[in-house]
Homo-oligomer: A and B are copies of this chain.
């Protein structure tokens, strides 16, 4: 196979509005070094990280209760999830499905998914030596991408390229949340943002463990969310959550809340946790600043776990679930790469259910 020297790519040039995402047709194709593979990208899924990094939402200078548009007051020194500044130009895009076109024999020609957490492989549990595919190195909004060969996981599946590109970030995030909260059989798991990528993954992955799932999403999305088979469905912010729970599961408390929403509704989420309950969080799409009542927290012996960095092994678990057909993708829409602006705007508008993916020309 001949590798061209130039490729089509969407390049982020700095923090700001959508115009900071610039489409190129003559961007240099990366060259795989020793121990690396070059992957021909077939499809790449969108994530909050793309938007949050662009708008510098992760910066503490931003109080940002909306996604997007907050970059004016942001501090570039503290504008990635990890607190380290991102460098530009940067090709974003973490959820890649593709084929290995340069690499060792056992990977060459293989259909792969890319493990997204970058580690120091000689010190893989060191949380200070970590990065994210498409943030600390170039990602998949391009025709080709290179990566350490240990990140290329062959996958054997009948799913389409676009379907395979729905999994990586959302699903390892969701699986990590369930690990952090120790979810298992007998748990009732209340899931916010259930129409999104992480939310819909949480439903399937918690069901897979034998838990009872209660999904929260806007009424207009209930038909779509019901396809992920939660045990119960609630509106995104019922006026009286205890009452609403009682109506669908016969009790007004849950043992676990898995949240990616936060915002002004947050105190109600915490207040339905039973004594000894667990709250786990991997996002705050409705706003990161929340009001916490320490009495609820300590008097009920609650445990809260933040879930961002995913330990080694979780991605391989997920590839196993996919290969064995234990989970099904939630592909909401596909756009060609050159329409990334439109794709990201649809992603921000949150009218979809599941994942949005760009595909290569």
A residues neighboring B (CB under 8 Å):
58, 60, 81-83, 127-128, 262, 266, 275-276, 281-284, 288-309
Asked whether, in the complex, the Cβ of B289 is within 8 Å of the Cβ of A300, the reply is no
CB distance from A165 to the nearest CB of B (A): 24
Tell which of A283, A294, A297, A304 has the most Cβ of chain B within 10 Å: A294
Q: Which single residue of chain B is at the shortest CB-CB distance from A303?
A: B305
CB distance from A129 to the nearest CB of B (A): 11
Asked whether, in the complex, the Cβ of B299 is within 8 Å of the Cβ of A82, the reply is yes
Residues of B within 8 Å of A297, CB to CB, are 281, 304, 306
Asked whether, in the complex, the Cβ of B301 is within 8 Å of the Cβ of A303, the reply is no
Interchain CA distance A307-B83 in the complex, whole Å: 30
Given contacts A127-B275, A127-B276, A276-B127, contact A301 B291 (CB under 8 A): no
Interchain CA distance A298-B276 in the complex, whole Å: 20
Given contacts A127-B275, A128-B275, A275-B127, contact A301 B295 (CB under 8 A): no
Residues of B within 8 Å of A83, CB to CB, are 299
Asked whether, in the complex, the Cβ of A283 is within 8 Å of the Cβ of B304, the reply is no
Interchain CA distance A127-B303 in the complex, whole Å: 14
CB distance from A289 to the nearest CB of B (A): 6
Interchain CA distance A299-B81 in the complex, whole Å: 6
Residues of B within 8 Å of A128, CB to CB, are 275
CB distance from A25 to the nearest CB of B (A): 35
Q: List 13 A-B contacts (CB under 8 A).
A: A281-B297, A283-B298, A284-B294, A288-B295, A289-B291, A289-B293, A290-B291, A291-B291, A298-B307, A299-B306, A301-B307, A302-B304, A302-B306
Interchain CA distance A28-B23 in the complex, whole Å: 86
Interchain CA distance A82-B298 in the complex, whole Å: 11
Q: Which single residue of chain B is at the shortest CB-CB distance from A300?
A: B306
CB distance from A60 to the nearest CB of B (A): 7
CB distance from A260 to the nearest CB of B (A): 9
Residues of B within 8 Å of A298, CB to CB, are 281-284, 306-308
Q: Which single residue of chain B is at the shortest CB-CB distance from A59?
A: B295
Asked whether, in the complex, the Cβ of A295 is within 8 Å of the Cβ of B299, the reply is no
Residues of B within 8 Å of A307, CB to CB, are 298, 301
- Specify which of B81, B289, B295, B309 is in contact with A60 (CB 8 Å cutoff): B295
Residues of B within 8 Å of A303, CB to CB, are 303-306
Given contacts A128-B275, A301-B306, contact A284 B288 (CB under 8 A): no
Interchain CA distance A341-B233 in the complex, whole Å: 53
Residues of B within 8 Å of A293, CB to CB, are 60, 288-289
Given contacts A298-B284, A306-B299, contact A289 B292 (CB under 8 A): yes
Interchain CA distance A294-B295 in the complex, whole Å: 18
Residues of B within 8 Å of A266, CB to CB, are 294
Asked whether, in the complex, the Cβ of B295 is within 8 Å of the Cβ of A284, the reply is yes
Residues of B within 8 Å of A304, CB to CB, are 297, 302-305
Interchain CA distance A127-B300 in the complex, whole Å: 9
Residues of B within 8 Å of A305, CB to CB, are 301-304
